[in-house]
Amino acid sequence: MKRNKVNGPINMFIMTDLPPANWTKSYLSDIAKDGRYKLYTLKESDELVLKTAERLMAAEHGIKSGFLPRIIGGTKKDCDPVQLPDILLYVEESVCSCASLGFVGTAGSTIAGSIETMRKNNVCRL
């Protein structure tokens, strides 16, 4: 039986756009049912993702992220609600690129290619 060093389940981060309800009759369903593994996924509504997006906006990297955090040339009295950037994919790519046991991606996927590039360039060691 596969176990980590402290005899607990192996922690596994799953990056997929397939909701858990649709995992039936798939490899993901088999892993999810196996007590040897503890699965983790992220959603746009998770606190980590929301806080990261808020911190990105607070750092005023708006032009880099495609969002302008300030109104140029003055302030606006009736401000629209703040729209946070959609950063879930970037957070997932970062987590996958720093995985200590490796990464398995779909062949030909641009996301998998991005993660492999990050791994090759030692992004996690910066």
Residue-range domain boundaries for the chain: 1-41, 44-84, 87-126
Which is more confidently placed, 55 or 68? Answer: 55
**Strands, E, within 1-126: which ranges?**
10-13, 37-40
- In this prediction, residue 104 has a pLDDT band, given cuts at 50, 70 and 90, of confident
Within 8 A by CB and 6+ apart from 74, the residues are none
User: What's the pLDDT score for residue 80?
Assistant: 61
| pLDDT score for 36 | 93
What's the confidence (pLDDT) of residue 74?
52
Which H or E run includes 47? Answer: helix 47-58
Using DSSP's 3-state secondary structure scheme, residue 9 falls into coil
Q: Is the pLDDT of residue 23 over 80?
A: yes
Are the beta carbons of 21 and 33 closer than 8 angstroms?
Answer: no
Please spell the DSSP secondary structure of 52-75, one letter per residue.
Answer: HHHHHHHTT-HHHHT--SS-TTS-
**Residue 25 token pair:** 């009759």
pTM above 0.85, yes or no: no
Region 60-74 average pLDDT? 53
Instruction: With a cut of 80, say whether residue 6 has pLDDT above it.
Output: no
Which of residues 84 and 87 earns the better pLDDT score? 87
